[in-house]
Amino acid sequence: MKISKEIQEFLLEDALERFLRYVKIWTTSDIKSASFPSTKNQLELGKILSNELIDLGLEDNIHDKFGYVYANLAPSEGFENVKPIGFIAHLDTSQAVSGKDVKPVIHKNYDGSNILFSQNKEISLTIAESPQLEEYIGLDIITSQGDTLLGADNKAGVAEIMAACVVWKKFPELKHGPITVCFTPDEEIGRGTRKIKKKLLPEICYTLDGSEMGQLEIECFDAWGATIKLKGLNVHPGYAKNLMLNAIHIASRFLSELPETESPEHTEEREGFYHLMNLEGNEEEATATLIIRDFELKNNQNRMSYLENLKKLYELRYPGLKIELNFLHQYQNMLIFLEKEQRAIDLAKKAIELAGLEVKIHSIRGGTDGTKLSEKGIPTPNIFAGGMLFHSRKEYIPTLALQKASEVIINLAELWTN
């Protein structure tokens, strides 16, 4: 099975056009929002995609009030009894960096020099900080103007799935079984599958939400959230000796006890960490939120025990101080579930190889919608979308990745027919 040059060129053109259009739609999610989806702008992109899927002739099209988009592509003639598969990408972008008014820039025929940003003279994109750039010399590279993120996470995945749908309609010689397409809101804030309709998805799915070309991710962090609330006692600072329990000051000391070597900025590969996300409050009360990550559950349990012991120590050290410590298990390592569905992994590897890429098995230092779906009983490996340096103003993607990820989707669909 080999995708023709004509189809490859069409995929690149279509996926690129869509990507450049989709990233301009502001879909930043908001972890502080109680609504679902967390931001209304995600509904705008979902509506556009739903209408485009209808125009392409996909069936059972749904765009629900929570922002999810579902649609089914009928199988090629003679392949009605083939096992259905699904392809999933998320609509939102990270709130870490602004995703409003994204203006994508194509750097033609990248020559290996530093890439500069017209709207942010203080930063540049270099091979030193992203070594993969050296492999992309001679390719076209897309970035933002430096004042926003680009949105390749996950508009690239959205564009690649849509381009594959176009090609299936335009080139009927490409065989496939029943295909389900699903786009989800709020993945970046951990809510991507919270209101998903599991019954509308097939038994096997793939997310297009990975990074480097060739990557296949079948393992992720075991993930916990921690909330630490300190209740102190405020007294006028002029008369506070031996009386005041300054909650936010004590919280700062408490958090300084976390091992610096176990923070995101000092860890890589399979090393876990504590990550302080927020600290707010005053003398009377302070609250800190953390995430705790590792590939091994026992390592996270050790970190939580460490926090429990710190709580006891600080309540002894500061009589009258009350500390509430709560943990939430956010998601499990998806490998626990995926290793039971080896065929889904093996066919993904073969699909990547057929696209002319080296398979790069990678462990996700984070999670995806596929993490929770696998836990819900729908094994969902994660395939590359092609972007790099996600969630930053230096985020980029080679245009070739848009084509190659689309090829992998098409290859996978045909492989499942055998």
User: Known catalytic residues?
Assistant: 92, 187
- Measured between alpha carbons, how far apart are the two ends of the chain, in Å? 12
Q: How far apart are CA 159 and CA 152, in angstroms?
A: 10
Nearest to 400 by CA among 270, 158, 212: 212
∠ CA(318), CA(319), CA(320), 5° rounding? Answer: 110
Helix (H, G, I), strand (E, B) or coil at 387: coil
Tokens read off for 203: 């038994």
**Distance of alpha carbon 159 from alpha carbon 409, whole angstroms:** 12
363 - beta bridge partners?
Answer: 219
Query: Exposure pattern of 131-152 as b/e (b: 16+ CB <10 Å)?
Result: eebeebeeebbbbbbbbbbbbb
∠ CA 386-374-59 to the nearest 5 degrees? 75
* Alpha-carbon span 1 to 5, nearest angstrom: 13
**CB-based contacts of 219, cutoff 8 Å, min separation 6:** 295, 333, 334, 335, 338, 363, 364
The answer to whether the beta carbons of residues 232 and 245 sit under 8 Å apart is yes
Nearest-CA neighbor of 412 among 90, 253, 174?
174
Positions of E strands within 12-58: none
d(CA 384, CA 262): 27
- C-alpha distances out from residue 167 to 2, 9, 173, 213, Å: 14, 11, 10, 21
Extract the tokens encoding 131. Answer: 């070594």
DSSP assignment, residue 35? S
State the Cα–Cα distance between residues 326 and 317, nearest whole angstrom: 21
The dihedrals phi and psi of 240, each to the nearest 5 degrees, come to -90, -10
